[in-house]
Amino acid sequence: MTLPRLVAPRSDDPAAVDPRVDAPGDPTFEPPVLAAIRCVFGVGAEPDAVPDGDGLRPVYCVALPVDAPGSLDADDTHEFDAASMLAALQTRARGRAWAMRLELDVVQTAAAAAGVDLYIAEAPGDAPALRVLHSVTLAGGGRRLTLGTGLVHTPAAVTRLAGSYQIEQRTGDGHAAGSCGAQLGLTEYEFE
């Protein structure tokens, strides 16, 4: 996957005016905020179906704390053993085929949503590309984007989702305008 990669273009809403953006000189934007990290485990749409594309029916959703002091150990990596969880589901709940995807929720202010594009600046090279799954307009004109990977079907594929994710805002001329991100470990638990 070539990075940086455009994941969500600006909304070009002329009603979203921010004095810091319209002031003389270089515009400034509030950085995006990583609001949620989720491992979503699910089955196919039909009993005999392998989960594929948008056919995932979520069964379990494990949310990793994003802004919770004391919830991370000293390595500052968000950790959950999603690989073992998928293996356990595939071994024990054999009545259906299982898959997993990683979801990241990113929040932008109204001015940023209207004035800058959102890029994936860093992601694990072997992971399925992140794409926008949902976009919700927030009160005041901001937006909350749910970015999700493609589905992975094996514990080995889950391990390829681990690594550093960096989401960056960029102006039309390519200048960085704030970023957010996280380091993820998907084969271990916190405080192990």
- Is the sign of the CA dihedral 151, 38, 73, 180 positive or negative? positive
Is pLDDT of 24 > 80? no
C-alpha distances out from residue 62 to 12, 41, 165, 170, 192, Å: 34, 8, 18, 31, 18
Q: Quickly count: other Cβ atoms within 10 Å of residue 73's Cβ.
A: 13
In sequence order, which residues have a C-beta less than 8 Å from that of residue 37 and are 6 or more positions away? 63, 64, 66, 78, 102, 103, 104, 105, 182, 184
- The overall average pLDDT reported for the chain is 88
Whether 19 shows a pLDDT value over 50: the answer reads: no
Mean pLDDT calculated for residue range 116-139: 92
Q: Would you kindly state where each structural domain of the chain is located, as residue ranges? A: 5-16+29-185
**How much is the pLDDT for 48?**
85
**Which pLDDT score is estimated for 116?**
92
Residue 161, both tokens: 């989702």
Residues 142-160, mean pLDDT to the nearest whole number: 95
Q: Which stretches within the chain are classed as H helix?
A: 19-22, 82-92, 110-115, 155-159
Residue identified by tokens 């209207």 is 114
Q: How many CB atoms lie within 10 A of CB 125?
A: 9
Q: Quick one: tokens of 62?
A: 């494990």
